[in-house]
Every structure is written in C-alpha cells, then in structure tokens.
Structure 1
Amino acid sequence: MTGNETLNREGTPTRPGSRLVDRFIRVQQAFADLGGGAHGTGELAEAAGLDDSTTSRILQSGVHQGVFERVGRKYRLGATAAQLGLHALAHTPSKDETTHETLEELREATAGGLVFQYMLAPFAGAQRACIDMAVGDSDLVELGMTARDILSVTRSLRTGASGRTILAYLPRPIQETVLAEPVPEEAGPGVYRDRDALLASLADIRDCGYALGYQECMPLWNSCAAPIAWGQAIMGAVLLLKPASAMPEAPPSAIQATQAAAAKISARLSHLSEPLSMMYGF
C-alpha cells in the first residue's frame, strides 16, 4: 500500500479519488440495510460505518442530485435512485423463446400442469404480473379462471404460492405494506388469513426455497412455486398449477422440476454483475 492509499471497510487499499465514491455507495447501501424508508443521519452513518458529518455531506449532495430526498429531519431514497433501477431493469433478459421453452419443459415434466411465470411489479404497490404461460390447449376461462381473478386474486402477493414466494424475499417494510392489504374476496379457502401463519409460511419458503399452495387463489386448484432471482434480488416466480384431484399434494418430483425451471430462468440473469439491491433492499 502506498502513502496515498487508505483501507476501505473490507480492508483492501483504495485510492484517494475513489474514497468519496465508496462512501457515497455505502450510504446508499445503508438505506437497503435498514430496509428502505426514511432514516436520520446518525442511523445512516452507523449503518454505513461513517461519521455523522461525512454522512451529512453525502446526503446533502445526494439531495441536490435527486438520489436522496429530505423528509423533515430524515432522508429517503429519491426519484433518481428509482430511475437507475429502471435503467437496470431495461437490460435484463426479456421474455424470449428460451424462457418459454423452460415453462413448456416444466409442463411436460409434470404431466400437463399449467405453468405461469410471474414477475414483481414494484411500482404498482408490490404486486405480481403474469408475463408468460405454458397451458397447452387449455382454455383458462373454461377452467374457471376469469379476468376478475387475474386482476384481483392473482396479482396480490398475499395469495397463492407464487405470491408468497415473491413476498418471502422482499424487505420487511414492503412485507408489512402487503400484510396490511385485505385478502381478495375471491381468494380460495386455503388462503392464509392469519398474519402469524402467513409470516411463518414466508420463513418456511426462505428455508426450503419453494412454496406450496393448496386452494389459495381458487377452489380445487393446488400449486407449487419457486423464486426467480437476479443475484440476491427477487424478480418473480415460476408457478405450477394443477387440479387438486390430480395433485392433492405436490410430489417431490414436481417440486424439484419447478425449482429447476426457476433456477434456469434465474441463470439467464446471472451474467449481469449488479443486482437490483437498491430497489429491493438486499
């Protein structure tokens, strides 16, 4: 190490010109470590491992740039941070034939189950949207899936294996926002209405890497879901849906096939070096 270098918090040398950038990034990451929301200078300084005066200067500079916003005596991430997230999203691999083939492979491997790919829609109040499906010749309306179901039940992160899978990996403040939402009236009899039971199910999902849903979104339909991730950031979920009569319980083969499909789609994101840590709080 030369006389003009210092050590960063990881103990590796850093040139003077990079120190300010490193500190700025540490303050940004502090918001993620604290779960987003508005925080005071002292709290952010402690999380970033910096002194209050340095953190204050960085926050004030960030406010000028739109990266941070001042809320009373506290600060939160600003519109520029969200815009950067959108630019990052623009460079993720889009839905293509390879991704759809993965869904078709899961459908074939599970004896004709209905397969859906859901993605997180963070700017719609933390909901999910179906962007692709492999359903063969099935008519979803004839199967009892109405437009009302799509616009209410299946977009809520409170309901269904895919919703809870995404919810399980979101920061706690976002989870609390979703938990405060009412359960959709059209939800199935198996939906988690008890808060503690729902939270316990999220912990189970994080432990095992998949979710099972029994008549949550619709009566007489069971499901299995696994997360789609970009680095440490949750992006969506792959869902396998079958009639309860054909799948009263999800067999290990169906669970493993669903996880494999989600992992394959996630792998398409792995070449991107920076996850959406600022957007999702990881």
Structure 2
Amino acid sequence: MTSASSVQPVRRGRASAAGTSVEKAMRILEALAVPDGPHRLMDVAERAAVPRSTAYRVLATLTAEGFAENCGDGRYGVGGRLSGLGARIVSVMSAGAGPALRRLQEGAGGNTVHLAVRVGDHAVYLHKVDSDKPYEMRSRVGNQLMLHCTAIGKAILAHLPAAEVHAVMASAGMPARTPATITDLPALHAELAAIRERGYAVDNEENEATVRCLGAAILDRAGRPRGGVSISTVTFAVDRAELLGYAPLLMTTVQGMTELV
C-alpha cells in the first residue's frame, strides 16, 4: 500500500502548459486559501508547485494589492480584498444554486443535498438543503471536507490531471476516516477512472459510518472541476440501489450549474 506521506508533489517546469504567470498566481491564491493559515512561504510554494522565489515575488504583488497579507515570521494569509471577493462569490453562487438544489432534494426522495466548492486541497460546503426525514446530517455550511473519501471530493479529483491528484494527496494526506476509506493511491486512481466513466461518485461509508452519498462535479466551461453537489443518505433508511437511482437527476443538476462557476 502506498502511504500518503510517500507521495511527492509533482513540480511543473517552465515549459509546462500550466506555467504561465497568471496560472502560477492562481495556484498561489488557492494555496493561501487552504484552512489553518497563515501559511509559511515554503508551504505556499510547495502547494502551488512553484519555486520559492516565484512564490515570494507573486505574494509581494498580491500583498500590495490587498489579496494577500504578510503576517510576519515568513507567513502569509488571505488579504481583505480576497476575503471580500470570496464572500461575494459565495453569496452569488449559493443564491443562484438554491432553486436547483431544492428541486434536486425533492426529486431525490427528500434526502439531504449539499453544494461544495474546492478550496485548495479540500472542499467547503456552501449550501445545504436539509432532509425532510426524522434525522439530519451533522454537516454544516462552512464545514471542510476531504477529497479522497467523500462523494463530492472524489468527483472533483476524477476531473483533475493525475499529477495534480498526486500533489493534492501528498499535501492533504489520505487518512482512514472509516474502515472503508481508500488510503492507497493506486486504488484511488482506479476509483477515479470508474467515476469518469460513469459520471458520478459514491461515498460508501468512506467518510462516516452509516452515511452513503452520491456526488457529481460542477465543471466550468473549460472542463475544470470547481465544486460538486451530493445527495446524502443513511444506510439504514436508503439502500445503495435507491441512491444510485437518483444519479441521472443529480447529473442533470450539476450540468446546469456551469454558469455559476
């Protein structure tokens, strides 16, 4: 079994297709937004897969423009301008997705529906439509979720290049949340290939015991995954076959959200 700690981030060279100045700045912004900041310069550079000198120059510009903040001791955090922009995006995206998510919840047997967006090595819930059942999911808007063991997370990973999946797992790790969690990188890649083939992901009690979820990625116009939507159920009330029956409706829902991202 390949441990997460043994996986090393893949560095991109100057000639890489992902090596333009704008793309490097975008990756640095994503690295800044990873929870538990402020972050050391070396950590930002590693997550963004850029040389430390490049990260330093870009961060100096972002700091001058208010998108980053120099917190001292070689650490950088999210600046006020980026926080304000993020809040506006969250508001617009959540409001725009609301009606579609409510329709999905009604069509999916009244089970809980979530919308999340990728933030660095994780995803964050932006919107939740609660179940009309006598039980509820413990998830909350603002909660962070890991990518390797959740339906939304695996759906996002399935649409990323293998090298980027490699780097994300090296940074975030692949801890076993339950006995069913995939903690082996080759096994994860096999799972992601199956997800790409069928168009949706299943979290089969991989993140939380008794909770089974169906998820699909929200892709932007370039085909990059920006987030995802999931239907969450409990295993003692909804069996796997019933949950999978909601896949066509889920996929139709996320396909209609391209304009939001």
Cross-structure match for 1:30: none
* Matching of residue 241 in structure 1 with residue 215 in structure 2: no
Deviations 1:57-110 (A, max 9, x none): xx8xx69xx8999849999994569x7xx7998779822444111111111111
Structure 1 stretches lacking a partner, 5+ long: 1-34, 49-58, 270-282
Q: 1:263 matched to which residue of 2?
A: 255
Sequence identity of aligned pairs in percent? 20
CA distance in 1, matches of 2:250, 2:233: 13
Structure 1 residues 99 and 188: CA distance shift in structure 2, 3 A? same
After the TM superposition, which parts of structure 1 deviate over 6 Å for at least 4 consecutive aligned residues? Answer: 66-70, 72-77, 86-93
Q: Deviations over 1:202-248 (max 9, x none)?
A: 11112221111211111111111111011122110000011113332
Structure 1 residues 77, 217: CA separation in 2 closer, same or farther (over 3 Å shift)?
A: farther
In the alignment, the residues of structure 2 paired with residue 160 and residue 216 of structure 1 have an alpha-carbon distance, to the nearest angstrom, of 7
In the aligned structure 1, how far is the partner of 2:113 from the partner of 2:163?
Answer: 30
Q: Residue type of the partner of 2:138?
A: M
Q: Deviations over 1:23-62 (max 9, x none)?
A: xxxxxxxxxxxx984414xx45xx69xxxxxxxxxx8xx6
Which residue of 2 is the match for residue 220 of structure 1? 210
CA RMSD of aligned residues (A): 4.1
d(CA) in 2 for partners of 1:213, 1:72:
37
Deviations 1:154-203 (A, max 9, x none): 51111111111111122333311332343345x23322122221111111
Deviation track 1:98-147 (CA, whole Å, cap 9, x = no partner) reads 4111111111111111100010112xxx21000001114568xx646278
**Which residue of structure 1 lines up, in the alignment, with residue 154 of structure 2?**
164
Q: Specify the alignment match of 1:145 in structure 2.
A: 138
Change in Cα spacing, 1:74 to 1:259, as seen in structure 2 (3 Å) is same
Tell me: CA distance 1:253–1:199, structure 2 relative to 1, closer, same or farther (3 Å).
same
How does 1:1-282 map onto structure 2 within 5 Å?
A: 37-40=11-14, 43-44=15-16, 71=51, 78-79=58-59, 94-122=92-120, 126-136=121-131, 143=136, 145=138, 155-180=145-170, 181-184=172-175, 187-231=177-221, 232-251=223-242, 252-269=244-261
Report the count of equivalent residues: 206
Contact kept? 1:167, 1:202, Cα under 8 Å = yes
In 2, Cα distance between the equivalents of 1:73 and 1:134?
44
TM-score normalised by length of structure 2:
0.63
Consecutive unaligned residues in structure 2, runs of 5 or more: 1-8, 29-44, 68-81
Judging changes above 3 Å, is the alpha-carbon distance between structure 1 residues 240 and 144 closer, same or farther for their aligned structure 2 residues? closer
**What secondary structure, in the 3-state scheme, does the structure 2 residue paired with 1:189 have?**
coil
Output the TM-score relative to the length of structure 1: 0.59
2:10–2:166 Cα contact (<8 Å) kept: no
What is the rounded CA distance, in whole Å, between the counterparts of 2:173 and 2:52 in structure 1? 30
Q: Structure 1 73/135 Cα, relative in aligned 2: closer, same or farther at 3 Å? A: closer
- Structure 1 91/212 Cα, relative in aligned 2: closer, same or farther at 3 Å? closer
Distance 1:143 1:207, change over 3 A: same
Distance 1:88 1:72 in 2: 26
Whole-angstrom CA distance in 1 between matches of 2:56 and 2:255: 33
Larger radius of gyration: 1
